[in-house]
Amino acid sequence: MKNPNFKLYLASLVMAGLSSCNSNDNLEADTFASTSKFKIINVTTDGRPFSTGKSSSSTTAKYVANPGGGVMMQAFYWDVPAGGTWWDTVKSKVTAWGNAGIGSVWLPPASKAQSGALSMGYDPTDYFDFGNYNQNGSTETRFGSKTELVNLITQAHAENMQVYADIVINHNSGGQLESNPFTGTQTYTNFTGVASGKFPRTSADFYKNSYGTNDEGSFGGFPDLCHAAPNVQNWLWLRTDGVGKYYKNTMKFDGWRFDYVKGFGAWVVNSWNANVGGFTVGENWDSNVDNLNNWANSANSSVFDFACYYKMNDAFDGNNLALLNDDMMWKRNPYKAVTFVTNHDTDEIWNKKLAYAYILTHEGYPTIFYRDYEEWLDKAKLNNLIWIHNNKATGTTSILYADNDEYVARRNGYNGNPGLVVYINNSSTTLERWVPTNWVSTQIKDFTGNSTWIPTTQADKWVKIQCPPNSYTIWSSNL
């Protein structure tokens, strides 16, 4: 859905001259247990962390990306240019995105909506009109024609990228008036005349009806689809020529982002997955981790990690990085967590460069927002983080240190991949810290280029690293 208040991101970085690091500082090693996934770390008087023993167990190892790879691009924003050019715009960029390491593209709702060529697609009328029928005042959608959409999907697949469709199945809009026996009034619930002739529906398919007065939630006064109705189930996910299977088998979409999943039961997405297949992620706008995790498990689907989003906002903009110790969906179940910094609905995080450094080094399925990548932030730095994510961010996560200004975490590596150590500094001065690593007597470097130090880890795997002000460094070996 829509939140039209976008912030333009402005950031500047003044880097101080950096001296080389002496890796032979002789500090006595403390015991550090690395068998658990998350650890809250305190600091001894000699500056080296020790484990408090607070941890949570995990059986996960390397994060295996959902279909399409380890980084997703949200390939739109609210009110992208109208005029039917957006599919061609995205098509012109997918090769460069693929070369940068982006593995999947999330597109806006692709079918004809009530506002025709002006609509962002969240008021759907005809699920089978991709800009090829003259209805609702236009033939093309806001984004273009069916042919242009097919060409975009084909090009993305040629670049070995997956394509996910935003799908709105909570509500419909643009129906004709009919006498509604369930309300005793005239309602806009007659969709029997849609131009495609597919998924005809009437008042019997919307609440209130013979199945009840409502389901989990309605939105904006739009007619609320009743997923308990056989006609709705058949056309959405059961029929071979229904919405889900047509999107997958004919249009060649690889998965779906389900809009406003609070409006219907998790069983709907679960049944969709069982009958259609493909990747799915739900927009369950909720910062409560229990609610996110319960929905993801019930739906057998990924879910956007709103808990992580709001913690990052408070941590990076509120100068309290210790909040990153708190619970998040990616810590509960990284295989079902889709992390993000901004989307078309909400843009609250100001210190985005630190937030992207966080999600692209941690577990979960990170998403990059189109305008952040193409307009607002430093694309070269984002490409660097994407490369680090795809090549170094492996294994479970150990949080090594966190306070108001500093956050240090280690990815523990997997299957011969060395993992990494990420150091985030939200203060105005350069900081240094001793940390335990994955490597014995190994030369490491900062793969972001924000530090020129090239230290060597000690025999006990400890090393001193640094981070410039309001910045991040990401350390690993060359293995």
Give per-residue pLDDT as tens, 325-369: 999 999 999 999 999 999 999 999 999 999 999 999 999 999 999
Same domain, 297 and 416: no
Evaluate whether residue 338 is within a structural domain. no
Residue with tokens 């297949």: 277
**One domain, residues 169 and 284:** yes
CA distance 81 to 94: 18
Is residue 261 pLDDT above 90, yes or no?
Answer: yes
Structure tokens at 47: 């500056």
**C-beta separation of 469 from 353 below 8 A:** no
Predicted local distance difference test score (pLDDT) of residue 1: 54
Verify that 425 and 286 share a domain, yes or no.
no
What does the alpha-carbon distance between residue 133 and residue 252 come to, in Å, rounded to a whole number? 20
| Residues 58 and 77 reside in one and the same domain | no
Q: Which of 260, 281, 304 is the last residue of a domain?
A: 304
First to last CA, the chain: 44
C-alpha radius of gyration, the chain, whole number = 24
In a domain, 256, yes or no: yes
Is there a cis peptide before residue 208, judged by omega within 30 degrees of 0?
yes
Q: Which of 280, 304, 328 is the last residue of a domain?
A: 304
Answer yes or no: do 172 and 224 share one domain.
yes
Q: CB–CB of 220/128 below 8 Å?
A: no
CATH code for position 43: 2.60.40.1180
User: What does pLDDT average to over the chain?
Assistant: 88
Query: Are 56 and 80 members of one domain?
Result: no
Residues with Cβ within 8 Å of residue 264, at least 6 apart in sequence: 169, 170, 215, 216, 217, 225, 227
* Statement to judge: residues 144 and 200 lie in one domain: yes
Asked if the structure places residue 85 within a domain, the reply is: yes
- Give the integer Cα–Cα distance in Å for 60 and 53: 20
Is 376 inside a domain boundary? no
In a domain, 114, yes or no: yes
Q: How far apart are CA 19 and CA 475, in angstroms?
A: 17
Q: Which residue type is seen at 100?
A: A
133 sits in the region (left: phi over 0; alpha: psi -120 to 50; else beta) called beta
Residues 47 and 142 in one domain: no
Do 287 and 217 share a structural domain? yes
What is the pLDDT averaged over residues 104-123?
98
Same-domain status, 252 and 277: yes
Specify the higher pLDDT residue, 10 or 386: 386
What the block records as the tokens of 82 is: 């109208």
Write the burial class of residue 303 (CB in 10 Å: 0-12 exposed, 13-18 middle, 19+ buried).
buried
Residue 219 lies in a domain: yes
In a domain, 220, yes or no: yes
Backbone φ and ψ for 456, nearest 5 degrees, come out as -115, 130
Residue 14 one-letter amino acid: V
Cα dist from 81 to 108, 259, 420, whole Å: 13, 21, 40
Place of tokens 């619930």: 189
The pLDDT value recorded for residue 416 is: 87
Domain boundary among 277, 304, 331: 304
Q: Is 224 known as a binding-site position?
A: yes
Q: What is the dihedral of CA 330, 332, 334, 339, to 10 degrees?
A: -20
Q: DSSP assignment of 137-149, as one string?
A: TBSSBTTB-HHHH
Query: What is the 8-class DSSP label of residue 374?
Result: I
Structure pTM?
0.87
Q: How many domains does the chain have?
A: 2
Higher-confidence residue of 208 and 22: namely: 208
Antiparallel, parallel or unpaired: β 255-258 and 162-167: parallel
Is 170 annotated in a binding site? The answer is: yes
C-alpha 80/C-alpha 74 separation (Å) is: 12
Q: Residue 11 falls within a domain, yes or no?
A: no
- 3-state SS, residue 377: coil
- Asked whether 421 and 475 are in contact (CB, 8 A), the reply is yes
Q: Which residues pair with 475 in a beta bridge?
A: 421, 446
Q: Look up the domain containing 144 and give its range.
A: 72-304
- Give me the mean pLDDT over the 389-409 stretch: 95
pLDDT in tens, 77-104: 999 999 999 999 999 999 999 999 999 9
Domain match, 87 and 154 both: yes
| Mean pLDDT (whole number) for 304-330 | 97
Q: Are residues 47 and 134 in the same domain?
A: no
Give CA–CA dist 448/472, Å, rounded: 8
* Residue 478 pLDDT class (50, 70, 90 cuts): confident
| Active site (catalytic) residues | 259, 283
> CA–CA separation, 465 vs 430, rounded Å?
11
Q: What is the CATH number of the domain that holds 136?
A: 3.20.20.80
Is residue 206 predicted with pLDDT exceeding 60?
yes
